[in-house]
Amino acid sequence: MTVVDGPVPVLDVRGVTKTFPGVIANEDIDLTLNQGEIHCLLGENGAGKSTLVNVIFGLYKPDKGTVKVRGEEVKFAGVGEAIEHGIGMVHQHFQLIPVFTVAENVILGDELTNGPFLSMNEARRRIRELEEQYGLIVDPDAKVGDLSVGEQQRVELVKALFREADILILDEPTAVLTPGEVDDFFAVVRSLVDQGKSIIFITHKLREVLAVADRITVLRNGRIAGTADPATATQQSLANLMVGRDVVFQVDKGEAHPGEVALRVEDLSVEDERSVMTVNGFSAEVRAGEIFGIAGVEGNGQRELVEAITGMRRKAGGTVEILGHNATKLTPRKIAELGTAHIPEDRNKHGLVGSYSVADNMVLNKYSQAPFARRWVRNTSAVHDEAEELVEQFDIRTPSVDVPIDTLSGGNQQKVIVARELTGDVDLLIVAQPTRGLDVGSIEYIHQQIIDRRDRGAAVLLVSAELDEILSLSDRIGVLYRGRLVGVFDGADATREELGYLMATGSTPDTEEVAS
Amino acid sequence: MNDRLDKGLSGFIRKIREAWDLQPLLVPLGAILLSFIVGGVLIAMIGVNPFEAYWALLRGMFGSWDRVAGSIARSVPFMGSALALAFAFRAGLFNIGAEGQLLVGGITAAWVGTLTFMYHTPSVIAIPIILIAGAVGGYVWGWIPGVLRARTGAHEVITTIMLNSIALFGVRWLVNSRDPQILRDLTASVPRTKAISPTAVLPTIVDSQPNLHMGLFVMIAVCIVVAFVLRRTTFGFETITVGTNPNAALYAGINVNRIIILAMALSGAFAGIAAASEVSGTNQFFQPGTFAFIGFDGIAIALLARANPIAIIPASLLWGSLLAGAPLMQLEAGVSIDVVRIIQSMVLLFVAADAIVRYVFHIRGEAGHQMESVATEEAES
Ligand SMILES: Nc1ncnc2c1ncn2[C@@H]1O[C@H](COP(=O)(O)OP(=O)(O)OP(=O)(O)O)[C@@H](O)[C@H]1O
Ligand SMILES: [Mg+2]
């Protein structure tokens, strides 16, 4: 089978099967990774991508099958052994300690192998070396908590490289990056493979796949659905292979029929945890029957804005009016009762209780209403039935509604939130990053649901870091820059370039003055 | 039709399986066994046959009906003090103030029990009154750290420790002071309150040492009610949500501060009821010393029971029985009562460091994927 002079496989997975109670997450998977290549792993939410790389990284033991690293069969008892074999992984959720500096985070865990005395200077020197070698720009003395998401990701990479990993597994690394950060990230990835590293790369963004992949493997329902050649594949062909049917990329959206003002925000200012006024004089109106998209580079006040409007964060000034009521001082419960639904930006922090069942998460914000409770007593069978219905309707992949939600794949967790928020009467829908980490099929579905809500008369405030999402959904687009709107466009007229420039600089090309 | 039957059946089978799922019991039981083994080694080291010592201990606990009753009687107050930790724990709070909440609950109960009107009030009313009085006293003493936590962010561990001291010295002063005489019974040789109204006394079931009284059923009922509240009510759902993910609770519209205050206050109330039941059923007066360590032992019992209100019942029974049996071990085998204390502390140590127990007894991770649950945390998505 091995061809002389052919590509050298550094990693060879044969017949891996991994089951969880009630789910076959991986079934008879074969995968090879050659020296110096980028192998993209594609697949719907819950297809088993994370499970597969966790098996490779020694986090899970496969039920069946073998993993060979550089020709040698390995059976890792844990992550430590995988690292010793030169495998590094960057998880979708970073494993960094915010109060430590970059250098401290990087050597964390390494002190075990390199003796109890940490040489911080040595660590700094090596981090600088890596910076030079791969263009991974990080300041070793910066506190991780103060870094942007993109920078934290680089720290994760440095951490892996510091331990001399030459097989790198990147699980959805770009899901949380801004477009600019994605470009930087790919520059680093290219310089890594140029210098002989081999990479397994998981993403849902087909454009990225076509741009960087040397080889593509598509998983579906835990099995290999096929492989594709990046030279000939198209986004459409990949999507179809993933989902097993034709996927429509362009959502079809009729004309908006704006009605009454449903959300009016006036001169709102909000502080973040560090008492910085991240929302500063924000004013906007959203009408029933329209989608108002807020574009902006992440960290320009999006999070604080949404939390303030939904009553989760104190407002430093200004007023919020929701569906004709003064909502400036209302609690989240009262705001929800006015007819507001909210898909939060951070699903693990706000949207879900990880140890609760899928069913309990499905009613997280209506557990006390009929039929889910009679007076004080919860009606668990009604909760169960509701959850089963929504799981069916939203095609959520889970063995049952009674399993803890943190056993679901990331994308399916997000679908639970969407299902929960999009049921019942919604007059104002506030959505933040609704499709982060979702596969193309699910994005299509959720976009359709949002438009559907609009057409049924709901006002929609959409906050997203994905410019494509903003452009394809919004009837009007506002650009958020340093906590205030610096421009409002008609959805049909706005262009990527125009918005991109405004997002980055806060001003249009012809006006020299920078808004601050 | 058939489908529904099928579904019903499989649900039924699942329920039975869950009911018989002994997995969660293995670690606590293993921890107990391991502690006795280590304790036995200690006993052997001082030259006593550990089997003889344990035999004496066992007879001390259950050697006669009277001893069985006495053991149970010793256990009753622990149910309340353990609940005081467990309930707050489910709300994400660490209430180590049961010690103080017992004292305040106890003295409130004793004070109310000695009010003149109580002497002409029939038992059906007087007993509930004295129990409620204890609950109110404990409630207030739990409410204070709850409010401090919710409004100012002061950590409940620190505030409850301080409130324990305030309660201890406060009740001592109330009960010790002769001039001015506050609550002290001047005719008694030791500092204690007057005897409560005979109508407010919980009836004795067995005249053992100490006597077993109806407080047992009161505390078991409280445990069951708390279990129901946590499992089946919206308030319980809110409490556990706040305890597991306060951010999600806020998002879900739960009034997080209200839950924090209520959870602490109710926790205090559970300790208060236990104290009232002791005052009313065991001593018929209040004496601060009788509550020493009951609150702190409650912490251990609640952790042994993994903050499960039903599991607190057997855990308390074990704890109280060991304490009741120890004197006979000292008498017959010459092994100090302190050895039982050491064994109890080891049980807790092993429960906390459950990896040791799992290793020694080859217990697999919970539901077969405890090890992997660590992994999933790291490996999301
Ligand atoms: N620890 C676990 N316990 C039980 N089931 C699990 C566990 N981890 C994953 N699963 C299940 O295995 C299946 C595959 O999950 P996996 O996380 O590998 O999907 P994925 O392809 O990474 O999806 P996504 O794109 O949404 O991240 C899912 O159905 C999930 O519910
Ligand atoms: Mg995944």
HEC assignment per residue over A425-455:
CCCEEEEECCCCCCCHHHHHHHHHHHHHHHH
Residue B368 has pLDDT above 80, yes or no: no
The ipTM of this complex is 0.84
Per residue in B179-197, pLDDT (tens digit) is 888 999 999 889 999 999 9
Residue B6 lies in a domain: no
Does A397 contact chain B (CB < 8 Å)?
A: no
Residue B190 lies in a domain: yes
The stretch B209-218 carries a mean pLDDT of 96
pLDDT score for A439:
87
pLDDT score for B301:
94
**A332:B252 CB<8 A:** yes
pLDDT score for A515:
44
Residue B94 has pLDDT above 60, yes or no: yes
CATH assignment at residue B264:
1.10.3470
Whether residue A383 contacts residue A363, with contact meaning beta carbons closer than 8 Å, is answered with: yes
Q: Which residue has the higher pLDDT, B254 or A95?
A: B254
A507 backbone φψ class: left, alpha, beta (φ>0; ψ -120 to 50): beta
**B376:A21 CB<8 A:** no
pLDDT score for B192:
93
Q: Which domain holds residue B245?
A: 49-334
Share above pLDDT 90 across residues of chain B, in percent, rounded to a whole number: 79
Residue B380 has pLDDT above 70, yes or no: no
Burial of B378 (0-12, 13-18, 19+ CB in 10 A): middle
Identify the top-confidence range among A72-81, B72-81, B340-349.
B72-81
pLDDT score for B364:
65
Per residue in A249-272, pLDDT (tens digit) is 777 788 889 999 999 999 999 998
Reported confidence tier of residue B7, pLDDT bands at 50, 70, 90: low
Cβ(A50) – ligand 1 distance below 6 Å: yes
Residue B328 lies in a domain: yes
Token readout for A423 is 């049921």
Reported confidence tier of residue A8, pLDDT bands at 50, 70, 90: confident
Domain total for chain B? 1
pLDDT score for A298:
80
Indicate the range of A34-38, A105-109, B229-233, B279-283 predicted with least confidence: A105-109
Whether residue A107 contacts residue A118, with contact meaning beta carbons closer than 8 Å, is answered with: yes
Q: What is A42-108 written as a DSSP string? A: EE-TTSSHHHHHHHHTTSS--SEEEEEETTEEE--SSHHHHHHTTEEEE-SS----TTSBHHHHHHT
Alpha-carbon span B316 to B78, nearest angstrom: 6
Per residue in A459-514, pLDDT (tens digit) is 999 999 888 899 999 999 999 999 999 999 999 889 988 898 898 888 876 654 44
Residue B20 lies in a domain: no
The stretch A280-308 carries a mean pLDDT of 94
Per residue in A304-313, pLDDT (tens digit) is 999 999 999 9
- 3-state class (DSSP) for residue B116: helix
Whether residue A55 contacts residue A62, with contact meaning beta carbons closer than 8 Å, is answered with: yes
**A352:B244 CB<8 A:** no
Nearest to A331 among B253, B375, B378 (CB): B253
Token readout for A214 is 């040397």
Residue A114 has pLDDT above 60, yes or no: no
The stretch B324-349 carries a mean pLDDT of 92
Cβ(A45) – ligand 1 distance below 6 Å: yes
Q: Residue B213: which of B281, B130, B129 has the closest Cα?
A: B281
Residue A125 has pLDDT above 90, yes or no: no
**What does each C-alpha distance from A297 to A149, A344, A480 come to in angstroms?**
12, 17, 8
**What does each C-alpha distance from A64 to A18, A57, A187, A252, A403 come to in angstroms?**
7, 16, 37, 45, 24
Residue A116 has pLDDT above 60, yes or no: no
pLDDT score for A500:
86
* Å from CA of A51 to ligand 2 middle: 7
DSSP A228: E
Whether residue B267 contacts residue B101, with contact meaning beta carbons closer than 8 Å, is answered with: yes
Alpha-carbon span A492 to A479, nearest angstrom: 15
pLDDT score for B133:
98
* Å from CA of B94 to ligand 2 middle: 35
Residue B373 has pLDDT above 60, yes or no: no
Residue B43 lies in a domain: no
Alpha-carbon span B78 to B81, nearest angstrom: 5
Structural domains of chain A, with CATH:
9-243 (3.40.50.300), 259-339+427-516 (3.40.50.300), 350-424 (no CATH)
pLDDT score for B208:
94
pLDDT score for B9:
62
pLDDT score for A133:
84
Residue A317 has pLDDT above 70, yes or no: yes
The stretch B142-161 carries a mean pLDDT of 96
What is the average pLDDT value for chain A, to the nearest integer? Answer: 89
Residue B370 lies in a domain: no
CA torsion A248-A251-A252-A253 (nearest 10°) is 170
pLDDT score for B344:
92
Q: Which residue has the higher pLDDT, A435 or B73?
A: B73
Cβ(A409) – ligand 1 distance below 6 Å: yes
* Å from CA of A440 to ligand 2 middle: 14
Q: Which residue has the higher pLDDT, A127 or B239?
A: B239
Whether residue A304 contacts residue A279, with contact meaning beta carbons closer than 8 Å, is answered with: yes
Share above pLDDT 70 across residues of chain B, in percent, rounded to a whole number: 89
Mutate to test the interface with B, among A377, A385, A397 (most CBs of B within 10 A): A377
Reported confidence tier of residue B230, pLDDT bands at 50, 70, 90: very high
- 3-state class (DSSP) for residue A468: helix
Alpha-carbon span A236 to A376, nearest angstrom: 51
- Alpha helix positions (H), A310-357: 332-337
Does A488 contact chain B (CB < 8 Å)?
A: no
pLDDT score for B19:
59
Per residue in B107-129, pLDDT (tens digit) is 999 999 999 999 999 999 999 99
Reported confidence tier of residue A1, pLDDT bands at 50, 70, 90: very low
Residue B124 lies in a domain: yes
Mutate to test the interface with B, among A52, A309, A368, A385 (most CBs of B within 10 A): A368
Residue B32 lies in a domain: no
pLDDT score for B134:
98
